[in-house]
Amino acid sequence: MAIESSQKGVTLLLAVIIISVVLAMALGLTSILVGQLKNISGFGNSVIAYYAAESRTEQLLVGIIGGEQPSSEYGPEQYDNGSIASAKVVCCSQSDSKCDFKQGGLQCSAVLQSDDECKATRYCLRTYGSFQDVKRAIETKIFPQSQP
pLDDT digits (tens, 9 = 90+) for 46-74: 899 999 999 998 988 888 777 777 777 88
Could you give the 3-state DSSP secondary structure of residue 146? coil
Q: 103: phi > 0 → left, psi -120 to 50 → alpha, else beta; which?
A: left
- Please answer whether residues 131 and 82 qualify as being in contact, where contact means their C-beta atoms are separated by less than 8 angstroms: yes
CA 43 remoteness from chain centre: 10
- pLDDT tens digit string along 122-147? 778 889 999 988 899 888 887 765 54
pLDDT of 114 reads 44
Please tell me the pTM assigned to this model. 0.62
Closest by CA to 52, choosing from 125, 131, 123, 126, is 131
- pLDDT tens digit string along 75-124? 888 999 999 998 888 776 655 566 666 655 555 544 444 444 555 667 78
Residue 62 CA to residue 57 CA, distance in Å, equals 9
